[in-house]
Amino acid sequence: MDEKIKEGKIYIVPTPIGNMGDITLRAIESLKSSDIVLCEDTRITGNLLKKLGIEKKTISLHKYNEHKQMSNIIEMLKDGKTLSYCSDAGTPGISDPGFLLVRESLKENINIEVLPGATAFVPALISSGFPTERFVFEGFLPQKKGRQTRLEELKNEKRTMVFYESPYRLIKTLNDLINIFGEQRKACVSREISKLFEENKIGTLAELVQYFTNKPAKGEIVIVLNYEKE
């Protein structure tokens, strides 16, 4: 295998999902050492950099422009630039842009350093109290085409299942899960993780539908579904 290009480097930098205290020292050092910060949204990352007292040029890189931008970014890396990439919150590449950047950088033998850090599904999974030794992360279910097929494929899953969801689709998704797994299957709905109004509500799928119908959810949602029938 060819040696990695030593001049250029890309840092994949997780950012807080709510609580600013979750930024790591290593993430701050990486951002400071970068020539340019690539970001899903320059306004959001710009505010983060401002709070950290870091002044850097930012370039937008998101799912709508990443294919168009990629050749320019690879050229910057080949020219010896050190870049960081931040999604709006959490770890890039986990239900966020970042996969294409990593894949294309690997193709060009460019140095990549992926930093550990904030991601929503880990605290949600642990907070559920469901088995964590084996789990499957499903991210966002398809909104329309392929949704029913995906759920049917999970019908006999023997691992704890983790889903991301919008608060506007939460009730629909819980009802879809009832259709596949039954209303007595236990689940946990976590929202606003690491923020002031964090909530982890555990119950049967039927109980969760009733609860969030009476108290509509706000903020980003993680659903953890127990694989065991209780």
Same-domain check for residues 101 and 128: no
Same-domain check for residues 83 and 147: no
0.85 surpassed by pTM: yes
- Residue 230 falls inside a structural domain: no
Structural domain that includes position 70: 5-114
Same-domain check for residues 107 and 126: no
pLDDT digits (tens, 9 = 90+) for 54-106: 999 999 999 999 999 999 999 999 999 999 999 999 999 999 999 999 999 99
Instruction: Answer with the one of 80, 114, 148 that is the final residue of a domain.
Output: 114
Instruction: Answer with the one of 114, 141, 165 that is the final residue of a domain.
Output: 114
pLDDT digits (tens, 9 = 90+) for 179-212: 999 999 999 999 999 999 999 999 999 999 999 9
Placement of tokens 């689709």 in the chain: 169
- Over the Cα atoms of the chain, what is R_g? 20
Same-domain check for residues 109 and 200: no
Q: Where are the beta strands (DSSP E) in 87-217?
A: 110-114, 135-140, 160-165, 186-191, 199-204
Record the tokens describing residue 78, joined without a space.
Answer: 């080949």
